[in-house]
Amino acid sequence: MQIKGSTILITGASSGIGAACAAAAARAGARVVLLARTQPALEQLATQIHATGGSAYVYPVDLTDAAAVDATVARILAELGPPDIVISNAGSGRWLFVEETSATEAAELIAMPYLAAFYLTRALLPAMLQRRRGYFLFVNSPAALVAWPGATGYTAARWALRGFAEALRADLHSTGLRVATAIPGKVSSSYFTNNPGTEARAPGLARLLPTLTPEQAAARMLRAIARNEQLVVFPPALKLLYLIHRFAPGPVRWLAVATGTRRPKAW
């Protein structure tokens, strides 16, 4: 899909990877539609984009609220028309063992990112199907490829998101709409301050990978969209691990567990 001249809807655009994607897409000539809960941060980004001659529109919404998503999408369709590209990037979730996870937090882990992506796609799809073109990119985590200890609810939610993207691709066969997944390694965003305790739970295996800036992650994702890639796993060291895991899953699974976190108390 061409970035220049496209309307790109980006969730989680108030910080980190989503904000960097929006800024880069606007610089490349896209009209960007910014979604997240924090209106001042979205407004600030839109002001920066306008100052450099770009085009940005702000729609604050809690994406885990299905009715709010429906209402926001109805406004977007009426005011701007259907987007050409949708980047479902919003995400949160702490890495916890099952017994550390309250029932409320377990439900929140499923609500964001999986249900949020489902609600948004469901609301946008009829208008995008009518036009018979469009591109959905789902931003996921390495946890959607291989599990490590101490991130159980988070990992299950990421597999749900991965399954949703796969099933949606099958649903949209021959419709002109495309579906892709992006899996970045560690990115120096505010994710780990927004989700306390999480960084310390990363397996030692993850330390072999370089940390990317949100701008580097955004650049790779926009390149994936421009090239119509279906699955983009980056940086290259993570892609190598992914390829080894694909053909010989045992050793990578073992390393993720062996270098992973241990339970805080003895069992």
Ligand X SMILES: NC(=O)c1ccc[n+]([C@@H]2O[C@H](COP(=O)([O-])OP(=O)(O)OC[C@H]3O[C@@H](n4cnc5c(N)ncnc54)[C@H](OP(=O)(O)O)[C@@H]3O)[C@@H](O)[C@H]2O)c1
Q: Which residues are catalytic?
A: 154
CA–CA dist 232, 209 (Å, integer): 16
CA 213 to chain CA centroid, Å, is 15
Least distance (Å) from ligand X to the CB of residue 120? 10
Q: How far apart are the first and last CA of the chain?
A: 52
Indicate the helix (H) or strand (E) that contains 42. Answer: helix 39-51
Q: Which is nearer to ligand X, 37 or 239 (CB)?
A: 37
Mark residues 94-123: x for contact with ligand X by CB under 6 A, - for none.
------------------xx----------
Site for ligand X in 133-162 (CB under 6 A): 139, 141
Does position 26 interact with ligand X (CB under 6 A)? The reply is: no
Q: Which is nearer to ligand X, 129 or 188 (CB)?
A: 188
Does position 189 interact with ligand X (CB under 6 A)? The reply is: yes
Interacting residue with ligand X among 57, 95, 136, 191 (CB under 6 A): 191
Buried b (16+ CB within 10 A) or exposed e, 75-93: ebbeeeebbbbbbbbbbbb
CA–CA dist 83, 77 (Å, integer): 8
Least distance (Å) from ligand X to the CB of residue 195? 7
CA–CA dist 95, 162 (Å, integer): 18
- Of 37-45, 232-240, 244-252, 258-266, which part binds ligand X (CB under 6 A)? 37-45
Give the alpha-carbon dihedral of 186, 242, 230, 149, to 10 degrees.
-60
Exposed / middle / buried, residue 23 (Cβ in 10 Å: 0-12, 13-18, 19+)? buried
How many residues line the site for ligand X (CB under 6 A)?
Answer: 29
Q: Which is nearer to ligand X, 2 or 211 (CB)?
A: 211
Interacting residue with ligand X among 3, 23, 57, 64 (CB under 6 A): 64
Residues that bind ligand X (CB under 6 A): 11-12, 14-18, 36-38, 41, 62-64, 89-92, 112-113, 139, 141, 184, 186-187, 189-191, 194
